Amino acid sequence: MNYLVLAPIVLVMIALRFTRLNILGWLAVWWIAAYLAISYGIEPPLPSSIIGMFMGIVTLALLAYLTVRTDDMNFVKRAAIRFLTDKKYTLPLALTVIALPLLAAFNVYLDAAKAPQPPAAGRTVHPPPPTEITFKGKKIDLVNGVNPYRELQAEDPEAFRAHLANGRKVYFQNCVFCHGDNMEGKGLFAHAFDPLPANFQDPTTIAMLQETYLFWRIAKGAPGLPEESTPWASAMPAWEHFLSEEEIWDVILFMYEYTGHKPREKEEVH
Ligand code: HEC
């Protein structure tokens, strides 16, 4: 309870008894007092949906009160008819007729203009990978495995370049639409997805992951993500259905080459 708010409201309502306010003014003051008391007089503040419900009940109760005395009813009826027909009220009437739909529209606008909020449940962007996966019937070790073509970089640069060229082809035929031609996750389709396609330039994505981790994510896509990563629907396809093992290792080589990042090495345990 917030007595600093409630006390003045109660005082005003008591003072109201000594005035000769007509029934319309009386209803209005009661309605406003109820609104202020519910919105600001209660600690911790109520959610707006509850306030809306309470005010619905208050409105009904005040209308029920109004119908108790025929005199009051007739007074309000006459006032309404005067407002609708008396020349003197033409301007306020016109303003009311214009304002009502505008208010409704403004309310809808306020609702629509709210920035979309992520779901309350957090999403684990980089869940721990499984220790091994099965790729087209073949077991791939994610803990001790390596990109089989990585060693060519030192041993056979020519062959390495061929793998890079193949990776480039794979990337620009399959990944560019989402991950973008700059690998910033801003492809043509990207803005349609939530979560957004990963930004490989960002130091918190491939730069801190092992190549086998990428292999897992590319091969198994969103369907392969564990529970803790899936309150949001990732659009990442499972490429095992479309690409060969070599094509996936090649595109991984290309992703590091193109962004200038180094894959994370397997940590040695001493
Ligand atoms: C339909 C859109 C789409 C396409 C096409 C797509 N991706 Fe993705 N990708 C995503 C989304 C969305 C995410 C982020 C959510 C997630 O991690 O699953 C993602 C995440 C990833 C990640 C995880 C990065 C990280 O930091 O965990 C990798 C790796 C990846 N994509 C590689 C690829 C490769 C390689 C291709 C092409 C063979 C590709 N993606 C094609 C949408 C796509």
pLDDT at 116: 72
Whole-angstrom Cα Rg for the chain: 33
Predicted pLDDT at 115: 75
Question: Does residue 183 contact residue 255 with C-beta atoms inside 8 Å?
Answer: yes
For residue 239 and ligand 1, the question of a CB distance below 6 A is answered with: yes
Q: What angle do CA 106, 107, 109 make, to 5 degrees?
A: 60
Distance 48 CA to ligand 1 centre (A): 39
Instruction: State the pLDDT at residue 51.
Output: 92
**C-beta separation of 197 from 179 below 8 A:** yes
**Is ligand 1 within 6 A of the CB of residue 261?**
no
Q: Given this model, what pLDDT does residue 104 score? A: 95
State the pLDDT at residue 265. Answer: 84
Q: How much distance in Å is there from the Cα of 139 to the middle of ligand 1?
A: 22
Give the count of beta carbons closer than 10 Å to the beta carbon of residue 187: 20
pLDDT recorded at residue 42 = 87
Q: Can you give the pLDDT at residue 2?
A: 85
What 128-134 contacts at long range (C-beta under 8 Å, 24+ apart), as own/partner pairs, is 129/212, 129/213, 129/216, 129/217, 130/216, 133/216, 133/219, 133/220, 133/224
Q: What is the pLDDT at residue 120?
A: 60
Sign of the alpha-carbon dihedral angle for 72, 76, 78, 79: positive
Q: What is the pLDDT of residue 44?
A: 83
pLDDT of residue 216: 96
Position 194, amino acid: D
Ligand 1 test: best mutation among 169, 179, 209, most atoms within 8 Å of CB? 179
The CA distance from 205 to 199, in Å, is: 7
pLDDT for 232 equals: 64
Q: What is the mean pLDDT of each run of 10 residues along the chain (270 residues)?
A: 88 88 89 93 87 94 92 90 91 94 93 73 82 94 94 96 97 97 95 92 94 96 84 86 96 97 78
Q: What is the pLDDT of residue 157?
A: 95
Residue 91 contacts by C-beta under 8 Å, 6 or more apart in sequence?
none
pLDDT of residue 123: 74
Beta carbon of 178 within 6 Å of any ligand 1 atom: yes
- The total of other beta-carbon atoms located within 10 Å of residue 127's CB is 14
